[in-house]
Chain A
Amino acid sequence: MKFGVVRFPGSCDELDALAAARRVGEAVLLWHAERDLQGVDAVIIPGGFSYGDYLRAGAIARFAPVMEAVAEFARDGGLVLGICNGFQVLCEARLLPGALLPNTSLRFVFRQVELEVADADTPFTCACPPDRRLSIPVKHTTGRYFSPEPVRVVLRYAPGHNPNGSQDDIAGVCNEAGNVFGLMPHPEHAVDPLTGSTDGLSIFASIAQGHVRQHVLA
């Protein structure tokens, strides 16, 4: 299992995502200006402020050369995980429905939040039982998810834990095919008991397990 973590200028959590992915498999960095995905089995678009995000969060990054390859990879059924800024980038790239708006507080918010797995039947959540609550931190200014159309909700903030005013407490969604997943919370910052909870590990473990199962079946 080989993960590729995209690095844009302005990415901040790419090394954290790289280290988290390496807990369950191999992982390499993918440079924003290159189209070669180096044969990875899953792509992670990490958190941060790609290209400064001075325009709309993720609006510039979607035009990066690497995103052409990621879009093609996603169309072919490859697994793509977008975390925070990565979620914003995937929405801007129309690989996920909806948009992320400024938090109702209009402020950056860091908080450890409780999440509910709404859909455990995805390659990103199959290792979390459906009733399982996850404790994972959020940190963002533009995380209020909104979609005019119905969407496939994967994660919700537990009651009282919505940090940004998102529609229906949505914390993470996937595309209809189920191979592209975006979430505002940072699972890569919940993989080590030393620095917090380990609940985020189940996201990475799900991806790795699904990959193994796929190969066993093949």
Chain B
Amino acid sequence: MSASTSSPSRHRQLGLTDEEHALIVERLGREPNNTELAMLSLMWSEHCAYKHSRRLLRRLPTRGEHVVLGPGENAGAVAVGDGLALAFKVESHNHPSAVEPFQGAATGVGGILRDVFAVGARPIAVLDSLRFGEPARSPRSRYLLERAVAGIGHYGNSVGVPTVGGELQFDPSYEQNCLVNVMCLGLAPRRRLIRSAAAGPGNVLMLLGALTGRDGIGGASVLASAELGEADEHKRPSVQIGDPFTEKKLIECCLELLERDLLVALQDLGAAGLTSSASEMAAKGGVGLDIDVCRVPLREPGMAPFEIMISESQERMLCVVAPERVASVMDVCERWEVPATPIGSVTEEPRLRVLRRGTVVAELPTAVLIDACPLYDLHPIQPALPIYGPPPAELRGDEPPAETLLALLGSAGLASRRPVFEQYDPIVGSRTVRRPEQADAAVLALPDGSALAVAIDGNGRRVACDPRQGAADAVYECAANLACVGAEPLGLTNCLNFGNPEKPHVAWQLSEAVEGIAEACEALGIPVVGGNVSLYNESPAGPILPTPIVGIVGRLPDAAAAGRLAFAREGDAIGLVGRFAPSAAGSELAKLRGQPPAGPLPVKESQAVRDAQAKVRDGIRSRALHSAHDIAEGGLAVALAECCVAGRVGARVHAPVEVFGEDPGGAFVVSGPREAVAALGPVIGTVGGEELRIEGVLSVAVSALAAAWERGLARFV
């Protein structure tokens, strides 16, 4: 070994515990040198090894009749008929976005796109889920919102992948730790899907795409696996810089390489760069890889081997190519102006060797890199005292209902997202059947006349009230969004955004939430095909609200029958479908009244949720219904108002329940001919007029509702 042996305390600086370091020494039979220690510290970080969450995640159901690729690949995939597979995944880029929101969010998009085309699928849609501090009180949160949205638009728009949906919420707990979760969907012929397992000793390892620089050195351990403190400006050099033009060429180039069947394996470079990608490719294939760092094209001179091995420079892919096909690969890459360089080879022995001018500078068995990292059990303890304080109050609580409704619609949490989604291209690709604000889920046409539907959802306030039920409700609500366009769920991906799991109360939130997601997925028969975990989202002020984000994809048989949320015709009956037991706990109204997230959530009967969703789905598919909208944040009153504003028409309703209470996922507002609506549930009113009138409660002109709703977020963006 040419590199020097690491000093005793070095492992601690790199985030490894003394026990982990001792285990490494035991497994290697020697002290690792500095290059090896840098590589291992990243591979054994929470971000790469999921050491605090892996055991828990085994609880999630992963099997389903449509599953083509499950957890463990770059992205999961489900069959969507006609020989096509839909790959999808959600991933977080929270900490980079908190440090530098534009590049953090942009490279979040870039990273998830690569995960999807790494399995051979053409990216066809992006959705994003964002959380920030209160925009009314925090200039920093307005800045983060503005720059993160600009970053997502910059990257997504420039690569020609439409941003078709998303969600955005605010809470003081996200002040220091904003959340930027991005989901991507990709479509591929099933036969073209490719795995990342390296194979065939003697085959060539090639690096495609951008040059390797010093950006993002140690990002996985520095940013993603430790709490953010007050003085994090010095971490800015750890944030990567995105280049969507290079990504665009890389996408087209990789898809052409796959179409021509020139690759044995393909893998993106994400967190921990070459180290992680090469380790995973080797481990999955049960082979080894030799990498010569002198052959890696560099953006700056004088980079040490460990820097080259852990650089997180963006827009790079690693592939394995049979020697006789290297020339053809180079030809395709040259046509797309994508640099392609052989940097190593596949070997028999399952180890990753790093060479520099013929000298071995690191040699690590893949078993130590990938499998030896200890997995930790959480030590969950339900907290005796509330974790989160009350949010600032916007309402006194004694306002008349009409004023309350206008305040809810005009709140940053519920107002129109137009100021955000107008900065994204939702239509490139010519598949988008339902754009943002037309329906509860985005709908994308497939070549055979059917369509995909996708939605992304999460509600940290409800999860804070009751992690198990709140997380289950996120699944139910996301599936409800799909039902509203007529789609049946095929698969789910999730991103678990939580605080420090080594703290018992966060461990409790996390384990309860995973249980809730598992229960809801089992109840609805939805397999979890992949996901991501983002822990340590804490600041000195405490953890973020526990925020599991779920993305569900589904399919509907007839794209032209896709549902809309707007009330469509005067005289249509308005119906309430599903069992609805609204409560104030964790509601938007409770938040506006300055109440902390607390109290039991309504318990759902899963069969009732299934039945309600099936009724709405079938009503939309058969075109018996003219509109469908799930009753979520803001309760029945807000759901009705949204249907009125979208249709620019009023409604007269007799509400059978408390109008601002919430019980998301199992209840819907639908409209259509009276017989069709009455067949699904109680008729509660009629579409028509110029005001929303809830008998005995409130009456507000639709124009006033629209004005409040349109202004609510626009005033901050």
Residue numbers of A with Cβ under 8 A of B are 9-13, 15-16, 19, 47-49, 51-54, 107-111, 137, 139, 186, 188-189, 192, 194-196
Q: A13-B160, A110-B426 are in contact. Are A194 and B445 (CB under 8 A)?
A: yes
Interface string of B143-161 (1 = CB under 8 A from A): 0000000100110011110
For residue B246, give the distance in angstroms from its CB to the closest CB of chain A: 8
Q: Answer yes or no: B550 CB below 8 A from chain A CBs.
A: no
Q: Answer yes or no: B684 CB below 8 A from chain A CBs.
A: no
* Contact assessment for A109 and B245 in the assembled complex, using a CB-CB cutoff below 8 Å: no
Q: Answer yes or no: B559 CB below 8 A from chain A CBs.
A: yes
Stretch in B416-424, B457-465, B631-639 with 4+ CB within 8 Å of A? B416-424
User: For residue B336, which residues in chain A have a CB less than 8 angstroms away from its CB?
Assistant: 9
* Contact assessment for A110 and B427 in the assembled complex, using a CB-CB cutoff below 8 Å: yes
User: For residue B430, which residues in chain A have a CB less than 8 angstroms away from its CB?
Assistant: 15-16, 19, 188-189, 192, 195
User: For residue A111, which residues in chain B have a CB less than 8 angstroms away from its CB?
Assistant: 422
Q: A19-B430, A49-B158 are in contact. Are A139 and B244 (CB under 8 A)?
A: no
Contact of B559 among A48, A54, A194 (CB under 8 A): A194
Q: Answer yes or no: B363 CB below 8 A from chain A CBs.
A: no
User: For residue B150, which residues in chain A have a CB less than 8 angstroms away from its CB?
Assistant: 107
* Contact assessment for A110 and B423 in the assembled complex, using a CB-CB cutoff below 8 Å: yes
User: For residue A9, which residues in chain B have a CB less than 8 angstroms away from its CB?
Assistant: 245, 248-249, 336-337
For residue A89, give the distance in angstroms from its CB to the closest CB of chain B: 15
Q: Answer yes or no: B428 CB below 8 A from chain A CBs.
A: yes
Within 8 A of A (CB), among B373-426: 421-426
User: For residue B304, which residues in chain A have a CB less than 8 angstroms away from its CB?
Assistant: none
Interface hub of B424, B426, B429, B430 (most chain A Cβ within 10 A) = B430
Contact of B248 among A10, A16, A189 (CB under 8 A): A10
Inter-chain CA distance A15–B244, complex, in Å, is 19
Q: A13-B160, A49-B158 are in contact. Are A110 and B425 (CB under 8 A)?
A: yes
For residue A47, give the distance in angstroms from its CB to the closest CB of chain B: 8
* Contact assessment for A110 and B245 in the assembled complex, using a CB-CB cutoff below 8 Å: no
User: For residue A16, which residues in chain B have a CB less than 8 angstroms away from its CB?
Assistant: 428-430
User: For residue A53, which residues in chain B have a CB less than 8 angstroms away from its CB?
Assistant: 158, 245
User: For residue A48, which residues in chain B have a CB less than 8 angstroms away from its CB?
Assistant: 160
For residue A157, give the distance in angstroms from its CB to the closest CB of chain B: 15
User: For residue A12, which residues in chain B have a CB less than 8 angstroms away from its CB?
Assistant: 157-160, 248, 425, 428
Contact of A49 among B245, B421, B423 (CB under 8 A): B245
Can you list 24 A-B contacts (CB < 8 A)?
Answer: A9-B337, A10-B245, A11-B160, A12-B248, A12-B428, A13-B428, A15-B430, A16-B430, A19-B430, A49-B157, A52-B243, A53-B245, A107-B423, A108-B423, A110-B423, A110-B426, A110-B427, A111-B422, A139-B157, A139-B427, A194-B433, A195-B430, A195-B432, A196-B427
Chain B residue at minimal CB-CB distance from A188: B430
Chain B residue at minimal CB-CB distance from A186: B427
User: For residue A47, which residues in chain B have a CB less than 8 angstroms away from its CB?
Assistant: 428
Q: Answer yes or no: B593 CB below 8 A from chain A CBs.
A: no
Pair count A-B, CB < 8 A: 81
Interface hub of A15, A49, A54 (most chain B Cβ within 10 A) = A49
Q: Answer yes or no: B25 CB below 8 A from chain A CBs.
A: no
For residue B487, give the distance in angstroms from its CB to the closest CB of chain A: 16
User: For residue B157, which residues in chain A have a CB less than 8 angstroms away from its CB?
Assistant: 12, 49, 108, 139
Chain A residue at minimal CB-CB distance from B560: A194
Q: Answer yes or no: B674 CB below 8 A from chain A CBs.
A: no
Interface hub of B150, B248, B336 (most chain A Cβ within 10 A) = B248
For residue B303, give the distance in angstroms from its CB to the closest CB of chain A: 25
* Contact assessment for A52 and B427 in the assembled complex, using a CB-CB cutoff below 8 Å: no
* Contact assessment for B428 and A195 in the assembled complex, using a CB-CB cutoff below 8 Å: no
Q: Answer yes or no: B623 CB below 8 A from chain A CBs.
A: no
For residue A25, give the distance in angstroms from its CB to the closest CB of chain B: 17
Q: Answer yes or no: B431 CB below 8 A from chain A CBs.
A: yes
Inter-chain CA distance A91–B433, complex, in Å, is 33
Inter-chain CA distance A45–B150, complex, in Å, is 26
Within 8 A of A (CB), among B272-304: none
Q: Which 5 A-B pairs have the closest CB atoms?
A: A52-B245, A12-B160, A16-B430, A139-B425, A49-B158
* Contact assessment for A189 and B158 in the assembled complex, using a CB-CB cutoff below 8 Å: no
User: For residue A186, which residues in chain B have a CB less than 8 angstroms away from its CB?
Assistant: 427
Inter-chain CA distance A38–B559, complex, in Å, is 36
Contact of A110 among B246, B421, B431, B560 (CB under 8 A): B421
For residue A9, give the distance in angstroms from its CB to the closest CB of chain B: 5
User: For residue B559, which residues in chain A have a CB less than 8 angstroms away from its CB?
Assistant: 194
* Contact assessment for A52 and B158 in the assembled complex, using a CB-CB cutoff below 8 Å: yes
Inter-chain CA distance A63–B138, complex, in Å, is 47
Interface string of B424-461 (1 = CB under 8 A from A): 11111111110000000000010000000000000000
Inter-chain CA distance A188–B431, complex, in Å, is 12
Inter-chain CA distance A192–B560, complex, in Å, is 11
Q: A9-B337, A49-B245, A51-B245 are in contact. List 11 more A-B contacts (CB 8 A).
A: A10-B158, A15-B429, A49-B158, A52-B245, A53-B245, A108-B424, A137-B427, A194-B433, A195-B431, A195-B445, A196-B427
Chain B residue at minimal CB-CB distance from A196: B427
User: For residue B248, which residues in chain A have a CB less than 8 angstroms away from its CB?
Assistant: 9-10, 12, 49
Within 8 A of A (CB), among B139-195: 150, 153-154, 157-160
Inter-chain CA distance A179–B549, complex, in Å, is 52
* Contact assessment for A52 and B244 in the assembled complex, using a CB-CB cutoff below 8 Å: yes
User: For residue B425, which residues in chain A have a CB less than 8 angstroms away from its CB?
Assistant: 12, 108, 110, 139
Chain A residue at minimal CB-CB distance from B163: A110
Inter-chain CA distance A195–B158, complex, in Å, is 21
User: For residue B153, which residues in chain A have a CB less than 8 angstroms away from its CB?
Assistant: 108
Interface hub of A107, A111, A137 (most chain B Cβ within 10 A) = A107
Inter-chain CA distance A194–B433, complex, in Å, is 6
Interface string of B239-278 (1 = CB under 8 A from A): 0000111101100000000000000000000000000000
User: For residue A13, which residues in chain B have a CB less than 8 angstroms away from its CB?
Assistant: 160, 428
